Amino acid sequence: MNSLTCREFCCLFCCPPCPSKIAAKLAFLPPEPTYTITSDDPETYNLHLSDRAEFQYGQKELDCIEVLKRQTRAGYNIAMMYVKCAPQSRYTILYSHGNAVDLGQMSSFLIGLGTRLKCNIFSYDYCGYGASQGAPSESNMYKDIDTAFSTLRSKYGVTPSNIVLYGQSIGTVPTVDLASRVTVAGTILHSPLMSGLRVTCPNTQRTYCCDSFPSIDKVHKIASPALIIHGTDDEVISVNHGIKIFESTPITVEPLFVEGAGHNDVELYGQYLDRLKQFIDVELPKIARESDELNSI
C-alpha cells in the first residue's frame, strides 16, 4: 500500500468519512488507459493497443482477441476481452485482474496463460479502468463481474460447469462474491485478502461495519473446489490472509504457498504454472467425475 501525503490523508479522512470512498481511493489505482475500443456497429468492436500496453505477440495472437462492451446493472458500459487460445478447451477462465492494470496491459499475460493452460480466457475491466465507464468502487465491482459472467454464458454459451473463476489481489474480491452465489467448475484465489481493514490493521479479528471487501465472511459459501495461491513474502497482502482464506473455504485442494515470492512475482516461479495445470487438467475433471457418479446413484 502506498504511503500518503498529508494532503492525501486529509482528503481520505475528511469529516464525515465515507468508508466506500476511502476504500476506493486506497484500493483502486487505474492506470492511464492502454487501449481503446471502437465500434463499427452495436455488435462489432475493434481493439487498439497503445505502446504502453507492451504487447509481446504478433498479429496472429492479436486476432485471437475479441473485445466487446456490455452494460452493467449500474448503467455503465464496461469493456470485456475474450482470448480464444484453445477452441476445444473444456474450461474457460473468467479472470479478474489486480488494481493497477487494465485489459491492454493484461492482454499479453492472458494470451500466454491461456496458451500454456490450453484454456480460453474471458476478462473485463472494472468501472473506471481502461475503456470502461464509471468509477471504481466495491459495489460496482460486484456488478461488473456479474455482467461478465452473464455475457460469457449468454453470448459464448459457456455453462457454469465449464467456468473457472480466477481472481488476483483485489480481483479476488468480486471473484469470491460471485463464487459464493453461483456454482462453477472451480475457483482460483491468487493473493486473496480477508478484508480491507485486515490488510491495513493486521490484528483485526472481526468484520466491522466500516470494513470493505469482506471476503472472509463469504468464502464459507463457495460451493466449488478452490485453489489458493499466495507468496510467502507478500509485502502488500500478508500470506496470513491466504492461509486463513484456505482454512475458511469448504472445498479446497492443496494450496500453493510460493516460498520467497512477493505480491507481483508469483507468476515467475515454475510451480505456479505447474500447480494451475494440475488443478485444471487433473483435479477439476476428477472432482466433476466423482460428483457425477454420486448424483447418478
206: nearest Cα among 194, 189, 218? 194
For 19, 212, 218, the CA distances from 209, given in Å and listed in that order, are: 9, 8, 15
* Cβ pair 156, 150 in contact under 8 A: no
Distance in Å from the first CA to the final CA of the chain = 51
| 177 among known catalytic residues | no
* R_g of the chain computed on alpha carbons: 19
**Which residue, among 147, 200, 199, has the nearest Cα to 174 in the 3D structure?**
147
Concerning whether 220 is annotated as a catalytic residue, the answer is no
State the catalytic residue, choosing from 96, 132, 169, 215: 169
| Residue tagged active-site, from 215, 234, 238, 241 | 234
Residue 234 annotated in active site: yes
CB contact at 8 A, 207 and 224: no
Catalytic residue among 180, 248, 263, 265: 263
Buried b vs exposed e over 36-73: b needs ≥16 C-beta within 10 Å? ebeeeeeeebebebeeebebeeeeebeebbebbbbebe
Which are the catalytic amino acids? Answer: 169, 234, 263
